[in-house]
Amino acid sequence: MKRLAHISDLHFGRIDPRVVDGLLADLTAQAPDLIVISGDFVQRAKARHFEEARAFLQKLPFPYMAVPGNHDIPVYNVFKRFTDPFGHYRRYITSDFSPLHIDNEIAVLGINTARPVIMDFSEGRMNRHQIARVREVFCGMPDTVFKVLFTHHPFLPPPDLPKTQLVGRHKLALPALESCGVDLLLAGHLHKAYSGDIMSFHTQIARSILVAQASTATSTRLRNETNAYNLITVEQPTVTFEVRSWEGAAFTGGLVSTYRKQGHRWTLQAQDTGFRPVTGDPVAAAWETADRLSRGHERDRA
Ligand SMILES: [Fe+2]
Ligand SMILES: [Fe+2]
């Protein structure tokens, strides 16, 4: 069994310090085998923002892997944006832009999708070299190894926002992910937590690829959702996504989605809000549970 903590969009420079402390405390308590960080470490790519991000990383009690996000590239310093877009990222976070972890149970590959483009700095994409890297790493790996690819930009839109811009060249990348048996895609950028199957949207793909999107873990740039991260438990043929959310004083367990693999298909087995009523009134408890379940489903769709 392996446990991954998937955190994203920290946005140092615009964070709530209580949430940062709470995140460190919860990660320590959950004790994941590996922490995957899918970009947007900082708000404005300034050195002082990156210094805060590095101080956070130095406190992480478990190994971590990371890729940059669009906010990790300078926006206003146009000269730096094009001459050395990842200078601070390289200096303060890592110089490895395609990190890889492989053991007997899981393989995790990160790909940098952030680009210093002119018109829309939030835009991201994969290139042919990166797609070749995905093939090189995952193709030929046995099915017993759970294969995870993480990027900053998403491959699957939120169910209620199907026109959301996805990572560029995803139509080129998805057949490679499909043929190489990638099991799970992790990303952030949208500051929304949801999970699903790539097949539900990309109908040209005939093999299940699970997706887990993370909300922003620590930023005050919230989009109708609380700060949250994903705790992922891989125990083939089952994988469980737990959305752990900031509830004002601590991160607590929220919606849990359990998928099971049968052949090449991942099927949703169960969803549980993790809520356990403590009142003695069974009717009130039932209503509370129903209300929380419906809100949990809303969050999973958002
Ligand atoms: Fe972000
Ligand atoms: Fe982003």
Give the distance (Å) from ligand 2 centre to CA of residue 236: 31
Task: Read off the amino acid at residue 17.
Answer: P
Residues 268 and 259: beta-carbon distance below 8 Å: yes
How many residues in total does the chain contain? 302
Residue 278, pLDDT score:
45
Question: Please, where are the H alpha helices in 141-281?
Answer: 170-179
Cα separation of 150 and 186, whole Å?
A: 5
Residue 292, pLDDT score:
46
Task: Read off the amino acid at residue 157.
Answer: P
Give the distance (Å) from ligand 2 centre to CA of residue 123: 8
Residue 242, pLDDT score:
97
Residue 196, pLDDT score:
94
Give the distance (Å) from ligand 1 centre to CA of residue 282: 42
| Buried-state track 35-49, b at ≥16 Cβ within 10 A, e below 16 | bbbbbbbbbbbbeeb
Residue 141, pLDDT score:
96
**Could you report the per-residue pLDDT of 133-148, keeping only the tens digit for each?**
999 999 999 999 999 9
Residue 280, pLDDT score:
46
3-state helix, strand, coil in the chain (%, to 5): 30, 30, 45
Give the distance (Å) from ligand 2 centre to CA of residue 177: 22
Residue 121, pLDDT score:
66
Give the distance (Å) from ligand 2 centre to CA of residue 188: 7
Cα separation of 213 and 230, whole Å?
A: 8
Which residue stretches of the chain have pLDDT < 70?
Answer: 118-121, 274-302
**Could you report the per-residue pLDDT of 98-157, keeping only the tens digit for each?**
999 999 999 999 999 999 876 666 789 999 999 999 999 999 999 999 999 999 999 999
What is the number of the ligand closest to the CA of 9? 1
The dihedrals phi and psi of 242, each to the nearest 5 degrees, come to -115, 125
The dihedrals phi and psi of 153, each to the nearest 5 degrees, come to -90, 145
What is the number of the ligand closest to the CA of 223? 1
Domains assigned to the chain: 2-301 (3.60.21.10)
Residue 120, pLDDT score:
66
